[in-house]
A and B are shown apart, each in its own frame.
Chain A
């Protein structure tokens, strides 16, 4: 199919018109068992293309499912009509930049392919996991699922660009919900468990060992006291750090937000262009990188969707803000350096500035050393609730699991552990960064942004971290 489209694209574009074509072919499969009952197997085949034209200083795109020569021609005509209509009305810096001439290829590394195991065997495995999630009648809801996505994309441009990329992403889920005495508590494998690779990722992630622990912990939570309310030290496990990085570093550093594109929907940013190079975002311990080359992280690639080659870059080094998450288009508009992060969620949405793999570099402390530093505090794991203002400053997070830390030791389990703070000061209170024994690779499956709206996968790899003097609180009326 891709060969025919490549041939037709060359014949469909009128002379002297600058055009790009991004075609995507995705196969998704979702297998699930809930409350020990198999759900219908779902398969989604998603093929389409977006054609983008620059013409007379204007810009236009048209996305279509019709990939015949006639379909591509119609789409180019439609995109041309938009370029004509927007000519002279575009934001400065857009509409006359040409398209990439880069050529290259990328493919996910996998040890054991998704299709090497039959659907029947996968369903049997999910059935076993599901049964292990309910040891007690107080478990009122439970389930296990696997969601696999295989995407093949081809970017072609009239400048001679040709980029072929193929990714395979696995998202496994497990959850157990316990309820007793008017308290319902959930313990899950975490919505942050996402990775690029083969079926073997499931084993690397620890899915197979998790069910009994999750059920046991859900039952402990319904009997546990509320998390105390106080300002104290907070140790955040890597599966909650994923959300902390995402919301209060990733989004505020997106250059299109800083340029105002998102103000009607996802919001603006407390970060302004003059801060890059000098602003102290966090303590000396904070090192944040954009790393598209991590072999198993969810958003690894060799080129972004504008065709810019992707490399690892430091965004924050020793606490100082260095560069934003800005694609080539945004870099031109803002006159700032950036990264290769123009990404579209699928063929029917245009690329924009995104997180991809956004990571905190590990430090030197073991988990035991992080805990040992705390006289009185709380350890939290696994995100349950998240909320942050439209400038990405005032945040509140709730977690599934909390444990008190007393005199350097983990003690009582507490339920509904919440904490709140302000991004601009929070990262400066970072006083411990875990090393490799606390480091985990995860991400988010549904990062929402953009108009029209787009939900996309992102990767976050991070160690556990220790923060000083955080407002922590529990539930109750």
Chain B
């Protein structure tokens, strides 16, 4: 399916079906994906998905309904489906209550972003897994293909975001829960780059054959890699930065807002749309600013404000999506050279990955989670042994506040490998963090 042409045709059809006095907003999603799942270096589930979902919001006065439907790429069939959907939406609109928080962009701001690439064929992908996993226990997923987002309204606005990409996300396993996590993602596939990443992961794998070190609950010096911070920010992003979460006092940053707690002055975080991978527009047609400062110098700055929240709380929207979730988190770098991180850690815990974050006490920004994969026990700046899984229970006001010793000067650009419903377009740019005292409870 040529998504771009199909989007144009769909937008025209919806516009033609929109009556005087009505406004229509059309959100388009197209995906052509190859998914190759593997375990123990052999193929588990290989397949492809061609998907196309369109959401049409029909607005009349202060009433609004939203209808999503799948389209086929066949002109007559799609027109019939859109006719039925819009007719049903129009009927529903008549009995719908007024929406006091109705908001959509009435100023046309069209935009276009297209990034096409040549991706590996099915056979190349299978061969790459076989070669990389040869003699190793390799498990994970290769996902690749085109993702397309479009927005149109009957006022003439058109926004288009289309990109081709691949994401090979895997582990080399030693045994039980001891593994090295690796990822090769981008737009231009190179076997040599895959071999370089795999070679580096294999080197770490050899350390996992040492006997596991079990530590007692308590406080330890800790170095958290960018991947570990990714897990923390992924969790804090849910409900941390949205205006609605702030106004209903449900954010874990509540104490920074109330002035009863602050983060370390090195903590600065922004939603950096211009350097991320997500579309620069949202589903009500608003175009996002290049970036929004969320935390700056340890203090809370701005919220992500969706159009609905903007009306509800009487402020200006900054083009956030409906859930007010960040998609392109950018955490400022520090000054610690990454190759000195272990030396500066001295004796303590090297946390390669964290897992399953949640709250122990959200009001106090206290979170829990677990170490995972190739987390290590370090003595005098040298890795000594793989770490037995430990549960953390600590507050952001400590590990991003009083106990934060340094952030690394180098940062990683981490492309989200998740694919719930759709392949993710989220990303983060993060440093590593050295923490003086990091609390484990189990």
Contact = CB atoms under 8 A, between A and B. Distances in A.
A40 B250 contact: no
Nearest to A37: B100
A42 interface: yes
Interface residues of A, number: 91
A123 B169 CA distance: 44
Interface stretch (B135-143, B184-192, B203-211, B326-334): B135-143
A259 B38 CA distance: 12
Interface string B356-375: 11111111101011101000
Contacts, number: 274
Interface in B381-420: 389, 391, 393, 395, 397, 418-420
B57 to A, nearest CB: 7
A81 B50 CA distance: 15
A58 B140 CA distance: 19
29 contacts: A41-B92, A65-B50, A65-B72, A68-B77, A89-B42, A91-B44, A118-B95, A120-B96, A123-B97, A260-B137, A263-B171, A263-B173, A264-B141, A265-B141, A267-B177, A385-B359, A389-B177, A389-B370, A389-B391, A390-B370, A391-B176, A391-B177, A396-B391, A448-B420, A452-B49, A453-B420, A475-B360, A475-B364, A477-B361
Nearest to B31: A348
A385 B64 CA distance: 34
Most buried by B among A62, A68, A85, A119: A85
B139 A264 contact: yes
Contact of B48 (A46, A78, A179): A78
B39 A65 contact: no
A45 B70 contact: yes
B356 A389 contact: yes
Contact of A184 (B43, B249, B419): B249
Interface stretch (B122-130, B266-274, B289-297): B122-130
Contact of B176 (A59, A120, A268, A453): A268
Contacts of B357: 387
Contacts of A163: none
Contacts of A59: 43, 45-46
Contacts of B358: 385-387, 396, 398
Interface string B30-63: 0001010101101111111111110001000000
Nearest to A450: B37
**Which A-B residue pairs are the 3 nearest by beta carbons?**
A475-B361, A61-B47, A141-B248
B47 A387 contact: no
A67 B52 CA distance: 13
A179 B96 contact: no
B125 to A, nearest CB: 8
Interface string A227-241: 000000000000000
Contacts of B73: 65-66
A94 interface: yes
B152 interface: no
A89 B70 CA distance: 34
Interface string A58-74: 11111111111001000
Contacts of B420: 448, 453-455
A66 B250 contact: no
Contacts of B140: 264-265, 451
B101 interface: yes
A260 B39 contact: yes
B437 to A, nearest CB: 14
Contacts of B312: 35, 37
B39 A389 contact: no
Contacts of A474: 361
Most buried by A among B68, B85, B171: B68
A388 interface: yes
B442 interface: yes
Nearest to B397: A477
B363 A182 contact: yes
Interface in B312-347: 312
Contacts of B74: 66, 68, 71
Given A82-B122, A452-B35, A48 B70 contact: yes
B351 to A, nearest CB: 14
Given A184-B254, A448-B420, A453-B419, A91 B72 contact: no
Interface in A424-477: 448, 451-455, 471, 473-477
Contacts of B5: none
Contacts of A66: 50, 72-74
A376 interface: no
B275 interface: no
Contacts of B72: 65-68, 71
A412 interface: no
Contact of B65 (A41, A385, A388): A41
